[in-house]
Amino acid sequence: MSSPEQACRAARLISEAMRPERGGSPSYRAYHVIEALRLASRAPVGRPYLSRRLGLGETPAKTLIGRLERLGLLKRTPKGRHATPSALEILAALQKVVHVYPARLGLFNSEGEILAIIEVLDPPEDLTGVYQLRDYLVARGCRVSIIGGIHRGGSVSLPGVPEELASKVVDFVGGLGGVNRGVIIAVPSPCIHPLYDAIIDMILDSCTVRRE
């Protein structure tokens, strides 16, 4: 199975874990799902631990654990819930194509930024492409972002971004190495949860386009 197909499967399962049910939408987000699986891949976890580490109330943490168990991503052990092989596949698939970095580049006059590179998505060619990607972030609650792309050959473009800010992103990305193509998204650190939601939405929509 190729990386895009693996990423599509991972995004579908993460989306399913957040699917609204009769009681309404769960109060956790894609970030919490991924982080819960990451923590459970290291050692067995329980509701109080996940509640504390993820900043969730115990009721949302309980709902999250129950959803992940029903999806076959967590299994109960005498010491707590542990990530299943399917969960490990999800984490590995995302790690191949989604790279998230904390940064302090002074892009938004905030305490810091989160910069993500999504290799499985096509980089935007112009401002129209940038606005289409920005809409995903706005829909999830983040109205401030810088969006661009890494094109084949490693060139970085950030349509519409002032040179002073663009150069900071270009230098940061250039120092990472190993990423040859994809979408670049930088957001203020408080937007980390909308960022993860938007990334899953973007991947899911790219999967639909790829099938068509």
Domain range summary for the chain, segments of one domain joined by +: 3-92, 104-211
In the prediction, which pLDDT does 210 show? 58
The answer to whether domain 3-92 and domain 104-211 are alike in fold is no
CA gap 85, 5 in Å, rounded: 17
Per-residue pLDDT of the chain (212 residues; tens, 9 = 90+): 558 899 999 999 999 999 988 767 889 999 999 999 999 999 999 999 999 999 999 999 999 999 999 999 999 999 899 999 999 999 999 999 999 999 999 999 877 999 999 999 999 999 999 999 999 999 999 999 999 999 988 899 999 999 999 999 999 998 887 778 899 999 999 999 999 999 999 999 999 765 55
Cβ proximity of 205 and 169 under 8 Å: no
Domain covering 3-92: architecture: Orthogonal Bundle (1.10)
In the prediction, which pLDDT does 179 show? 79
Cβ proximity of 128 and 160 under 8 Å: no
In the prediction, which pLDDT does 22 show? 75
In the prediction, which pLDDT does 25 show? 81
In the prediction, which pLDDT does 152 show? 85
Give percent helix, percent strand, percent coil of the chain, each to the nearest 5: 50, 15, 30
Domain covering 104-211: architecture: 2-Layer Sandwich (3.30)
Q: List Cβ neighbours of 82 (8 Å cut-off, separation of 6 or more).
A: 40, 43, 44, 45, 74, 75
In the prediction, which pLDDT does 211 show? 57
CA gap 75, 94 in Å, rounded: 21
In the prediction, which pLDDT does 178 show? 75
